[in-house]
Each structure stands twice: as C-alpha cells, then as structure tokens.
Amino acid sequence: MAFAGIANAISLCFLCVSMLHFYEICYIFVKSEQCGESRHFKDKETIKHTHNPLDTMKKLFLILAVIFGVVSVSAKNNYSRDVNILPAEAQTILKDNFKSRVSHIKIGKDFGYIREYDVVMTDGSEISFDKHGNWKEVEVAPTSSVPSDLIPNPIMTFVKENQGKAKVTSIEKKNYGYEVELSNGKDVRFTEKGKFIRYDD
C-alpha cells in the first residue's frame, strides 16, 4: 500500500515536470515572437536566463507533488482481522465485555504513526481505541446496550432514575466528560465524574 502511494507521488512529479517543460517551450516561443526571432530562436539562451515565472511554478508544483505523496502514504489506513494487533488493554476490554467476534479492525495512522483502532464486531458493535488501547467510543445496535462495565456508575444511575427502561446505545469520551446516546433517541452530556450536564437537542 505504501509503495503504491510512493509510486503515485513519483508519477505525479514526472507529470508536473513534463507539463512545465512544455509550458516553458511555449513561453520561450512567445518571447521569441516578441523579439522578432520566432523562426530561429537566436536569442533563446538569453530568454531562458531572464526571469521566468515558470521556474517558480515548477518549484511550487514539485513541492506540492511531494507533499501530496507524503500525505497520501502517511494517512493510509490499514485493515486487519487479527485481534492480536491491538494493544493488550484493548484486547482485554473486548474479551471481557463482548461475546461476538471481531469482524475487522481499521488502523488509523497519521504520518506513519498509529493514531487509533476502530474495531467492528460481528454483531455490528463498534469500539474505538486510542493507540494505547484505551476505549474512546462504544456504539451498539439500538436493541442492545453498551456493556455496563464501560459506563461510569453515576451515569448508569442517572439513566435508570430519569429515563426509565432506556438503554445506553452509545458512549463517547469528550474533553468535558462523556456524551451518551439512549435507545429512546435522547443525547445526554455528563462530566468526567458522571455528573449530569444537559440534554442535547
């Protein structure tokens, strides 16, 4: 996958250079016409060594092509079905809280470094982990419920006391605490300690 991205970047560089050489020839021809030397290009070297805006364009295109190639290679996501690629903490969470098997894992990367793991289970549940294996978000089917061990006790208590039989179908860690989605369609925000903040529209 990475080699394909590098090859594409190199091809893009060659294409940019070829296009710019063509434009350079056209530029020289036009300048020669202006000098009355369109047939023999007598002053071609002089024209080439004058300030040519295409030189700046050429450098810019090459820089952009290299940046594009690096980003396309670095941002490439990989997929796997092997649960052993996950950090130990993530493996333990899956083993202790989910009965279904792993369907596939998407490995998110930034500049070649692992950023996160997105795990999809065979029952449709999705769990996101950071690079260390700490869960970031858990989402299950509307008829199911997020495993209770992954929900802070104050949040569980609030839902039971205020939302009746509604189930927690999604929970996500935020900078302010947690965002929870319930089976009755309501979204609720909580602090890091599980204290109710507000309902979202």
Higher-confidence residue of 37 and 32: namely 32
| Identity of the residue numbered 56 | T
CA distance 73 to 8: 10
Instruction: State what percent of residues in the chain have pLDDT above 90.
Output: 56
| Identity of the residue numbered 12 | L
Query: How confident is the model over 18-42, as a mean pLDDT?
Result: 57
pLDDT for residue 92 is more than 90: yes
Q: Residue 1: what pLDDT? A: 42
pLDDT in tens, 100-126: 999 999 999 988 899 999 999 999 999
Query: How confident is the model over 50-65, as a mean pLDDT?
Result: 59
The answer to whether the CB of 139 falls within 8 A of the CB of 126 is yes
Terminal-residue alpha carbon distance, the chain: 42
Average pLDDT along the chain: 80
